[in-house]
Amino acid sequence: MNNEQSKISLAFQTFMSEAPQHAQAWATLVQGLGEASALDKKTQALAYLAVLAALGRESGIPFHVDLARQAGASREEMISAILIGLPAAGHGVTQVLPTAVVAYDAR
């Protein structure tokens, strides 16, 4: 497994390999939504991290932390994006913080 694949959850890797047509349809949708967004790439990536944290979707954190870093997000911005949901989503957002910090520092 290469470094990029290690950032993708086993569930999503299985989705891509076992249902390639569905995965392609999903990728097309995601690309289209990204292109339709009025947000710049860094803001999109940080907002996505906030949503993942609020939903407790830890498995997607390493991949999306890497996208945020590639878009120019600092470590502090990444942490702030995850913690911005504290008032609305509660302490649960902190559960993804260790995974996010490890992913950010891995580079």
Tell me the pLDDT tens digit for each residue of 3-38: 565 788 899 999 999 999 999 999 999 999 989 999
Helix (H, G, I), strand (E, B) or coil at 7: coil
Per-residue confidence (pLDDT) for residue 66, from 0 to 100: 96
Residue with the two structure tokens 């992913």: 103
- How far apart are alpha carbons 68 and 34 in whole angstroms? 14
Per-residue confidence (pLDDT) for residue 5, from 0 to 100: 58
pLDDT tens digits, one per residue of 57-76: 999 999 999 999 999 999 99
Classify the C-alpha dihedral 80-48-64-46 as positive or negative: negative
Q: Give the residue from 72, 70, 64 showing the smallest Cα distance to 82.
A: 64
The listed CATH number (3.40.50.300, 3.30.230.10, 1.20.1290.10, 1.20.1630.10) that belongs to domain 3-105: 1.20.1290.10
Q: Give the residue from 92, 45, 98 showing the smallest Cα distance to 67.
A: 45
Given a contact cutoff of 8 angstroms between Cβ atoms, the answer to whether 41 and 76 are in contact is no
When pLDDT is averaged across residues 80-90 and rounded to a whole number, the result is: 96
Per-residue confidence (pLDDT) for residue 22, from 0 to 100: 97
- How far apart are alpha carbons 36 and 44 in whole angstroms? 11
